[in-house]
Amino acid sequence: MPTASTALSTGHRIDETWIRRLPKAETHVHLEGNFELIDLLDLAKEAGEPLPGPAATLFDVTTHDASDGTGDLADFLRFLDWECGLIRTPEQAARHAYSFAARQTASGIGYTDAVINPTHWAAWSGRVPALFDALAAGLDEAEQDGLAEVQLCYSLLRQQSAGEAGEVVEWLATARPRRVVALSIDGDERSAGRVSARFAEAFTAAKDAGLRRTVHAGESSGPEGVWDAIRLLHAERIDHGVRAVEDPELLRYLAETQIPLGVCPRSNVVLGLYDDWSDHPLVALRDAGVNVTINTDDPAPLGTTLEADWAVCAETFGLTEDDLIGFARASIAASFAGDATKRALEAALPSSAASR
């Protein structure tokens, strides 16, 4: 993993243009979190649906004032339900997937594992295979047009039943929908509680079927959520995982196994998990030897891009260009990209900032 060497408080600043040019992957980003304001305005008009508030403050659901560390995560998830509920036709779904690939490409991201939770997409209840067909069509077109490769992680919701999870995995294993490479699970850990045992059978079946596994854990729950993801769900990667920093034994285990954490600092700060960027444990995790990548989570409502978040991390934590090259290398390795894609991205990385 990268190590910080020269603090940016000395006046050194890393330009976002350079970060965009750096070959990299993104492993923790949601299709649900990539509707720009113009997308929502157009979709709402097409659907004949009113906006839930003034357009100028539509994304203010991310403002938090909770004192229990949860921020407005539940409100934020309800906002995602509203957004995705506006997608009602295959053409709209394909267009959203295409636009997502274009936005990733604009940030210099060569490969993405994109999380999609169909429970947010209300209009597709009972016809989830058609949703995935439409998304795959949009991503196919994007790749044909020279945009970044995007594969999908089918995410369960923590409130679903073991039976529902089993049906999902059976479909994934039998139908092998295009571009689906992994099984995931997300949702509000704090409100759902420790539910990993409920989904253990489904994740075991996914593993046996050759699907990759990535689990949201260690965000609104503590380190126990990460342990459950590893022990019960065969997690190959943890989305968030930041609260592992509270458990020295877990830190040692993560450092030894190099199970990657897909960390999203801006999301953690905006949703109230940490008060400020400087309070975020990104560097503490890295310095403990944990395999960490930097991601956006839900960039559109959070008002960000990957290069912007990398630049803020560099300024906040004193990271150098060489550090960011290391984070880029870690992102590629942590992704579920095929070997050829990984080799191509890694070959394009500069060995050091001096060689750029």
Q: Which of 149, 219, 307, 321 is catalytic?
A: 219
For residue 64, list its beta bridge partners: none
Burial of 201 (0-12, 13-18, 19+ CB in 10 A): middle
Alpha helices in the chain (DSSP H): 16-21, 37-47, 73-85, 90-106, 128-144, 162-175, 189-192, 196-208, 223-233, 248-257, 265-270, 282-287, 299-302, 306-317, 321-334, 339-348
Q: Is 219 a catalytic residue?
A: yes
Closest CA to 91 of 65, 120, 59, 130: 130
CA–CA gap between residue 277 and residue 265 (Å, rounded): 7
User: Is the C-alpha dihedral spanning 119, 121, 123, 129 positive or negative?
Assistant: negative
Return the bridge partners of 293, or none.
Answer: 262
Q: Identify any residues that bridge with 135 across adjacent strands, giving them in sequence order.
A: none
Long-range contacts of 9-16 (CB under 8 A, 24+ apart): 9/318, 12/320, 13/311, 13/314, 13/315, 14/310, 14/311, 14/314, 14/315, 14/319, 14/320, 14/321, 14/324, 15/311, 16/307, 16/308, 16/310, 16/311
Catalytic center residues:
219
